[in-house]
Structure formats: C-alpha cells, structure tokens
Structure 1
Amino acid sequence: MLYLYIKIFHIFSFVSWMVMLFYLPRLFVYHTEHKGNKGFCDVVKIQQKKLFNFIGYPAMICTLLSGLAMIALEPTLLKGSGWLHAKILIVVLLVAYHFNLYRYMIALREDRDMHTGRFFRILNEFPSIALIIITILVVLKPF
C-alpha cells in the first residue's frame, strides 16, 4: 500500500515538474521577444525565478526521490525491465534539460543571452517529446 501512495506522489510531482519544463521556455520566448520593454522583462524575470525555484526545483527533487523510493520498495522493477531503464534515461535527459533551462534563465536575467524566440519555441518541444515517450513506456511497458 505504501508503494501506491508513493506512486501517487510521484505522479503529482512529475506533473508539477513538467508544468515548469513546459512554461519556463515560454517565458523565455516572451522575454526575448520583448527585450525593449524593460518593465515587462523585469516582471518576466521574477516569474522565471519563482517558477524555477518554488515549483520546478522542488518538484524535480520530489519526482526523483519518489521514483527512487518506488524502486527501493520494488527492486524487481529493474530486473528485465527495459522499459524502466529507458524511462530512467529519459528522466536523466529531463534533469539535464532542467539545469540547461537554469543556465538560460541566468543569462536572460543578466541580459547576455542572444537566442531568439524561435530558438526557445523549438527548445520547448523537448519536454513534450519526453512526456510522450515516458507515457508510452509506462502504459505499454513494451520490453
């Protein structure tokens, strides 16, 4: 029963983390496309920081810890479970993406990022692709 409660927490944490991974690059788009409007950019910088620090980072930590707890409670998941190994690889890539977003956020805050809104729109597709793959892996457990 404990496993199921941790799984519920894991899903909730993952959804919260994905919210940040989807929305922060969108804020980057707004930021880069309105660089001439200092007041607007100042507000967006605050939104970026709060979204990352108060939603994204804690949700990522909770997702990772609850995922590890589920594996600790049910270590057989790792035996012959290629789907779980693939899911873990995608999660590792999402963690790298998460910290890459942090780098962009700092560069934008310091007004030294030169990327375009188009760049951030394309970058914003990665979490969508990752979510699709993770959902397929979890639901179908194909291998």
Structure 2
Amino acid sequence: MWDMITDILSDYYLWTKTLHIISVITWMAGIFYLPRLFVYHTESVKTGSETDTLFQTMEQKLLHVIMRPAMYSTWTFGLLLVFTPGIVDWLEIWPWVKAASVLTMTWFHFWLAARRIDFTEGRNSRTGKQFRMMNEVPTLLMFLIVFSVVLKY
C-alpha cells in the first residue's frame, strides 16, 4: 500500500511542487499585505467610522478568503512533497531550517489573525511603527526558506 502511495507521489511530483509554489506565493502576498493594512488602519482611521468598517472588511476577507486557504494548501502540498521519495533528506540541515521557518510563518499568520480581532473589538493597542517592524518578520523567514531550499544548506 505504501509503495502505491509513494509511486503516486512520485508521478505527480511536478504538479505537487507547482501547486505548492502557487500556494506559497498567494499566502506570502497576504502575509505581506495584511500588516500594511494594519499600519494604515492604525495611523489613518478613526475607530467606529465608516472607514474603520471598510478596513475591517478588507482585512477579514484577505485573512479568511485568501490567506487561510493559501496557508492550508501550502501546508498540504508541502507535506505531500515531504513524503515524496527522494525529495527531503532529514539528515541535512536545510529541511530543518525550512520547517522551523514555516512553523514560525504559521505562528505569524495566527498572530495577524489575533490582531485583526483586536481591531474588530476596538482594542488595538499597537502602533503603526510596531506593525511596520512586524512586517519584516515574513521577509526574514522568506529569505531563510528560499536560501535553504535552493542552496540546500
């Protein structure tokens, strides 16, 4: 049975890899954009205004309609790649660096979701500067992930 599964994974490797890359690009677009929305929301919008409602709608849709499905598909296709024979050698360092970075990116995704709830409940306490600084987290993680996968360090 396991041989049949690994044969299927091997046969569809390029499809899985392609869908993984598309999912990652989509997820990362949201991961970069949502903190930016939070910056503008914090610095330019009065709580309870029509613009506040508009920002909350944009943030909610970005998070739930784009980012969440992209995160799930990134994880799904990534795990399928992990189980594809010959793709990952866990004796090397790079898959561990990538795994730790992806776990941290996932934590960041949920941190952003919690900040969105703060806005919804009118209790955001962070500044635009803090959101700008946090917006650097996915950039650093992206560098670690891409360099580890491409260079296999």
Shorter-normalised TM range: over 0.9
Q: Give the superposed CA RMSD.
A: 1.3
Residue 6 (structure 1) aligned with residue 16 (structure 2): yes
**Stretch of structure 1 that moved more, 70-79 or 41-50:** 70-79
Write out the 4+ residue segments of structure 1 that deviate beyond 4 Å after TM superposition. Answer: none
Gaps of 5+ in 1: none
Q: d(CA) in 1 for partners of 2:123 and 2:45?
A: 11
Task: Report % sequence identity.
Answer: 35
1:60-139, aligned counterparts within 5 Å? 60-74=71-85, 77-139=88-150
User: Retained in 1: the 8 A contact 2:30–2:63?
Assistant: yes
Which residue of the other structure, out of 41, 47, 51, is the alignment partner of 1:31? 41
- Note closer, same or farther for the CA distance 1:61–1:131 as it changes in structure 2 (3 Å cut): same
Q: d(CA) in 1 for partners of 2:85 and 2:138?
A: 27
More helix by share: 1
Greater radius of gyration (CA): 2
Q: d(CA) in 2 for partners of 1:74 and 1:49?
A: 38
Please tell me the residue identity of whatever aligns with 1:53: H
Q: d(CA) in 1 for partners of 2:130 and 2:90?
A: 40
**How far has the Cα of 1:60 moved from its partner?**
0.3
Q: d(CA) in 2 for partners of 1:59 and 1:79?
A: 25
- Note closer, same or farther for the CA distance 1:68–1:75 as it changes in structure 2 (3 Å cut): farther
**How far has the Cα of 1:78 moved from its partner?**
3.5
**How far has the Cα of 1:21 moved from its partner?**
0.5
User: Retained in 2: the 8 A contact 1:34–1:40?
Assistant: no
Q: d(CA) in 2 for partners of 1:105 and 1:3?
A: 36
Gaps of 5+ in 2: 1-10
User: Retained in 2: the 8 A contact 1:107–1:113?
Assistant: yes
**How far has the Cα of 1:132 moved from its partner?**
1.1
User: Retained in 2: the 8 A contact 1:71–1:78?
Assistant: no
Count residues in correspondence.
142
User: Retained in 1: the 8 A contact 2:81–2:87?
Assistant: no
TM-score (norm 2): 0.88
